[in-house]
Amino acid sequence: MVEPQLSQKAVEGFAQAALYDQHRPSYPDEAVTALLEAAKLIGLDAASLVDLAAGTGKFTEALAARPERFRTLAVEPHAQMREQLARKNLDDVTVAEGYSTAIPAASETIDAVFVAQAFHWFANRESLHEIHRVLKPLGVLGLIWNAEDCTSWPHFFFSLPNRPFNHHHMFIAAAHTINSISSTLFHLFPSLSF
């Protein structure tokens, strides 16, 4: 097995983790709630979650603030990003080094794996297989992205530092469908890359 490595683009691009954390928008409560509802986690106390490619913890913070007191494993391969997240000392959050192909969790122990704003870094068969490995049989993979609101062009062009991120795209997949999704997706599009 090849040892996982962080791409040089990511190493360099995220080196200024404190600035990234200061300027990257978070996720509004209604978007987080909608994703958790789709994942059937609302009211499920102490569910085991993975925030994969957690970065500086924008989505991790939203999970930690929930009344369910989720037990979240925040997995991040980039040392500076991980250190920035660890400094936040979030309740019920364990920050760990890991990769999409090497998640530091036992097989079938996780209720949901979430990826916020980062799936394009590892949208590949190996990562989907690893996510499937850690999920419980009824677990889910949830993806969420912030999307800029470009419909209001004067606001967009004249307020770039404070640009609006009021659209959120989400995707949920049940654990038992992940291998099917992987096989179908990469069979239909063998050269798929992001």
Residue pLDDT, tens place only, 13-25: 555 666 767 767 7
Its pTM stands at: 0.77
- The CATH homologous superfamily for domain 8-188 is Vaccinia Virus protein VP39 (3.40.50.150)
Q: How many CB atoms lie within 10 A of CB 107?
A: 10
Give SS3 for 111.
Answer: strand
Q: Which helix (H) or strand (E) holds 94?
A: strand 93-96
Residue 35: other Cβ atoms inside 10 A: 25
CB-count exposure of residue 134 (10 Å: 0-12, 13-18, 19+): buried
Give residue limits of the domains in the chain. Answer: 8-188
What does the pLDDT look like over 112-142, one tens digit per residue? 999 998 888 888 889 999 999 999 998 999 9
Report the pLDDT value the prediction gives residue 177, as an integer from 0 to 100: 61
For the four alpha carbons of 144, 76, 11 and 101, in that order, the dihedral sign comes to: negative
